[in-house]
């Protein structure tokens, strides 16, 4: 018997305390297809995806369950990248916790995305910023 593998895309949307996620099967790690799929994702409170990542899962003939064999960085659906220096230079009192967390956790870059609710998170090595803006789903 051979090893079986399948590809998935996991979409991330702003949540109350942690990000909401939706996982869908996909034929391959195709960014354009994933962006089209993202346009159809709406989570609680009309939250729209700020990003996604690809995952490949495999199961061998003797495996009880599948395992993750490959994972991409996060593809962010628009937004802006800011450095720790940018955040420190603003010295905005409302960003005190952000500055502290970036300094304490050695986070050099963040992504700020407003596809629906604002999401701010680490922008890591291997992550990609796409030039995409989703309709926020709110009435105009």
Q: Quick one: pLDDT at residue 136? A: 54
Inside any domain, residue 136: no
- Domain that residue 47 falls in: 4-130
Is residue 139 assigned to a domain?
no
Number of domains into which the chain is organized: 1
- pLDDT higher than 60, residue 134: yes
Dist CA 120 CA 1 (whole Å): 45
Beta strand 109-113 with 119-122: parallel, antiparallel or unpaired? antiparallel
Confidence category of residue 63, pLDDT binned at 50, 70, 90:
confident
**pTM for this structure?**
0.90
Q: Is residue 68 part of a domain?
A: yes
For residue 31, is it within any domain?
A: yes
């Amino acid at each position: 018997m051979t090893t079986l593998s399948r590809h998935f895309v996991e979409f991330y949307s702003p949540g109350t305390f942690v990000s909401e996620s939706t996982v869908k099967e996909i034929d391959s790690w195709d960014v354009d297809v994933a962006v089209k799929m993202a346009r159809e994702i709406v989570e609680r409170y009309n939250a729209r995806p700020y990003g996604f990542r690809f995952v490949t899962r495999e199961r061998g003939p003797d495996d009880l369950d599948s395992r993750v064999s490959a994972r991409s960085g996060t593809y962010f659906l628009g937004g802006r990248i800011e450095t720790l220096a940018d955040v420190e230079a603003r010295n905005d009192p409302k960003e005190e916790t952000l500055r502290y967390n970036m300094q304490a956790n050695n986070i050099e870059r963040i992504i700020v995305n407003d596809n629906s609710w604002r999401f701010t998170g680490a922008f890591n090595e291997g992550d990609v910023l796409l030039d995409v803006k989703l309709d926020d789903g709110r009435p105009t």
